[in-house]
Structure 1
Amino acid sequence: MNFERRTFVKGVAGLAATAAVTGTASAADGRTQYLVGANGNSVADAVADAGFEVRHELADGDVLVVVGSSDAAADIESIGGVNDANPDVTLELDEPEVDAEADDETPPSDGAALSDLQWDKEVTDVFEAHEYATGEDTRVAIIDTGIDLNHPDLGNVNEDLGRAFVVDDDVPEIGPDDSGYHGTHVAGTVGATGESGVVGTAPDTELIPVRVFPADGGAAFGDILAGIDYAAEIGADAANFSLGIPGVQQPGSELNKLKAEVQTVFQSAVRRGTVITGSAGNASGSLQGSGFTLPNSVPAAFTVSATSPADTLSFYSNFGTSDIDIAAPGGYYETIPRTLGETGEPDDIPFPLNAVLSTWPTDLESSVDLPGYDFIAGTSMAAPQVAGLAALVRELEPDANASRVEQAIQKGAEDANGKSDSEFGAGIINALNTVERLSNGK
């Protein structure tokens, strides 16, 4: 690989998006989309025979994504083999911001390579880990807004396998290309090749763009599940789901009614070998409670909290005993004052360079002077660090099941006692520790 060195001047960074439930999912013609729990493949035929459109059959037919009138739930549930039918919900990317601007002074790293600005890879020893593995012969699906198909650092994107699952697609012509920016940044964190500017955790992996967002509006949960099911269908070693839902969804909420179908699809994907990495969410809150959170309440998901350059929990990251599986760099410090340089240590990385640098759509304006790159922060940036590490593990142990991959990552983690730390789970990932352990047969 060619880690070509480039330079750029800093700009203003934003906080990465988390997902918020915003309404009921509808098709372009106004009909309602439903998530349907079923008892196998034959049920889809019965639902279709009853006059409903079956958009997706997931988890071997145990979950259906169905379109019908707004009052069709009871009629769908009356069909033989149907367990339940609930209106699908939409998730929109909500973007809280740090209320500050970058200093005008030239950063100390000006003139250095872009890889020198990737503190997230340095603190997790990713560059050293590449002596052992780079993700060769692996595949990671990015369930998100799509991926910039023309980015110079994303030449490992498989456009042919890319898909768009969008119930009301306002930009069908772009296919799996990025309808925003989020997916491109996530993809670079997983597997940027270093051809031009930045290096991902697994630079030799194959990236699969799975777009579930339109250009304007929210992603239907049924389409997100279709993307995860597709990732398992094509044999993805990992599927990254950087769409953590803030807060606990109480019993009776619209999202909680979909819990069984979400669990079924996630568990099906994991049984087929795909590790599902999910972001814990950016609400600065505890995930403990009697309700349902995503991805945290789904045992099949590998939930990731966000850490700072100082290996502390980032101020925005959700937390919770038994809800966080692992932690990884997401950017910013444990408080806003330290993030902005108002408090902290002499060697702290200045704002906004203490966010995560990754790829950015080349047709969008960036807050840095070099097009195609930007700094943003969030648990959305933490989860793909783990997805990339899963690819390194799979390169070294191609026959390992999803549970074995997760265990290898947890055993290689640092800064936690046991696996139930409320902030870090099993600890903060360390790529070098993980691959060295595997190389030594541990």
Structure 2
Amino acid sequence: MNLDRRTLLRGIGAAGATLAFSGFASAADGSAQYLITGLNRKTRSELEMGGFTIRHVLAEGNVAVVTGPEGAVGDLEGIRGVSAATRDISVELDLPELDATATATPGEDAALRDLQWDNDLTRATPAHEIATGKGARIAIIDSGIDLDHPDLGNVNENLGEVFVADDDVPEIGPGDSGYHGTHVAGIAAATGAVGVVGLAPEAELIPIRVFPANGGATFGDILAGIDYAAEIGADVANFSLGIPGVQQPGVEINKLRASIQKVFQSAVRRGTVITGSAGNASGNLQQGGGLTLPNSVPAVITVSATSPADTLSFYSNYGTSDIDVAAPGGWYETVPRTLGETGEPDDVPFPYNGVLSTWPMDAAPAYLPISGYDAISGTSMAAPQVAGLVGLVRSLDPSLNAGQVESVIKQGADLSNGNSDPRFGAGRINVLETLQLVE
């Protein structure tokens, strides 16, 4: 595949995948969508009398996603029982452009495993002698998962679900409407049947699609996906999604935080660990109260991205207030080193210094000339590393609650003394060390 520097930089600028704010969420009939906290029987009656329709009831009845007239936040806040109301927003995946020249296919027996430098750093292979994720359930809230990929035979399509307000591809169900979800899913739990091995290769994958093929996902649908994961008893729910940039506490968009926190805390209480990406804006989440959504809430294990050299990847957000742990996300601490213009003799060359994982079989990869696989990078790729590790921990000891799972992952991590490194939090995950603490 022929790639010039401009193409590489464009892809690197996208940092694998992030979200772009695309406006306020609306239904197909033009009605506005809102998130409200505080819900009871009388509240529901008043909502219906006020011309609102309830789409989702979440967080054990404490949060609702409703549609209704434009400019109705004040009306909603005036309903008895409603403690907060805010306009929902729509976000779109911002993905690198594709090159349609890939044709090669891999061989058998995890033929691409030697290219998975991330599994070597986290010591995943020797850890699989202790646990492989059997019995664990990993939910992927994303663009769906390729249901026909040979390395994703552990996908439970029957439990898969779709939360898309105006779905333009309803016929695919929880299948992948793009490619982001398939790549994320393979990092967490690819079986290794053909090309690559995930962190928890015998775990069960649950595809929860919140994106149409064209257009954005609403926060209401993303939260519905998290809530559903808890409802079906998922051990972990991964969302490699977040509003780009670093938000300041007073901006309008942060009014969503109350509903997000209620949903996430409810899921954790029900036993589902939540893993989320820290964001790809190179942003300091430590100074001035900066934060990202939906990642900057206490109930989420927020994950920064590291390179093949165990440095913070150049695009990753950082900050003591937010980062819980780090995991391989791909690329190096600078663009020149990523492209091989600087660095060490044993550096992994571009594009293989991205994270190699599964890719929809009918989609052209972005960088590698290998059908069904590609190497991209971002904190999107770091979060499912931790989700896979949660699956391994839970397969060893299903009795551990969400807080205990997070604690043992932090104890087993490398590169940090304590939990407060602004780049790595408690450290870059060490799969073998973590499982040795559990067994």
TM-score by length of 2: 0.92
Aligned to 1:38: 38
Q: Distance in 1 between matches of 2:180 and 2:289?
A: 31
Q: Distance in 2 between matches of 1:230 and 1:364?
A: 28
Deviates more, 1:9-18 or 1:309-318: 9-18
1:111-122 matched pairs, under 5 angstroms: 113-122=111-120
Q: Distance in 2 between matches of 1:432 and 1:55?
A: 43
CA contact (8 A) 1:256 1:291 kept: no
Q: How many residues align?
A: 420
Deviation at 1:95, TM superposition (A): 3.7
CA contact (8 A) 1:56 1:64 kept: yes
Q: Distance in 1 between matches of 2:214 and 2:398?
A: 39
Equivalent position SS for 1:143: strand
Aligned to 1:186: 184
Q: Distance in 1 between matches of 2:159 and 2:378?
A: 28
1:282-321 matched pairs, under 5 angstroms: 282-288=280-286, 289-321=288-320
Aligned to 1:203: 201
Aligned to 1:386: 386
1:218-245 Cα shifts (integer Å, max 9, x gaps) = 1100100000000000000000010133
Deviates more, 1:87-96 or 1:336-345: 87-96
Deviation at 1:416, TM superposition (A): 0.5
Aligned to 1:341: 340
Deviates more, 1:353-362 or 1:249-258: 249-258
Deviation at 1:10, TM superposition (A): 10
Q: Distance in 2 between matches of 1:251 and 1:405?
A: 30
Which one-letter code corresponds to 2:430 in the other structure?
N
CA contact (8 A) 1:322 1:421 kept: no
Change (3 A) 1:363 1:343: same
Deviation at 1:296, TM superposition (A): 3.9
Q: Distance in 1 between matches of 2:194 and 2:338?
A: 28
% identical aligned pairs: 67
Which one-letter code corresponds to 2:278 in the other structure?
A
Deviation at 1:265, TM superposition (A): 0.5
1:14-413 matched pairs, under 5 angstroms: 14=11, 15-40=15-40, 43-95=43-95, 113-288=111-286, 289-366=288-365, 367-413=367-413
Deviation at 1:437, TM superposition (A): 1.5
1:267-299 Cα shifts (integer Å, max 9, x gaps) = 111111111100000111101233542244200
CA contact (8 A) 1:238 1:276 kept: yes
Equivalent position SS for 1:60: helix
CA contact (8 A) 2:257 2:294 kept: no
Change (3 A) 1:170 1:253: farther
CA contact (8 A) 1:139 1:206 kept: yes
Equivalent position SS for 1:239: strand
Deviates more, 1:56-65 or 1:170-179: 170-179
Which one-letter code corresponds to 2:72 in the other structure?
A
Equivalent position SS for 1:185: helix
1:379-399 Cα shifts (integer Å, max 9, x gaps) = 000000000000000011101
Unaligned runs of 5+ in 2: 100-109
Unaligned runs of 5+ in 1: 1-8, 102-111
Aligned to 1:430: 430
Q: Distance in 1 between matches of 2:139 and 2:44?
A: 26
Q: Distance in 2 between matches of 1:182 and 1:47?
A: 36
Which one-letter code corresponds to 1:410 in the other structure?
K
1:7-37 Cα shifts (integer Å, max 9, x gaps) = xx99887431111222101111111110011
Deviation at 1:47, TM superposition (A): 2.1
TM-score by length of 1: 0.91
Q: CA RMSD in A?
A: 2.0
Deviates more, 1:135-144 or 1:12-21: 12-21
Deviation at 1:251, TM superposition (A): 3.6
Deviation at 1:81, TM superposition (A): 1.1
Deviation at 1:96, TM superposition (A): 6.5
Change (3 A) 1:237 1:10: farther
Which one-letter code corresponds to 1:428 in the other structure?
R
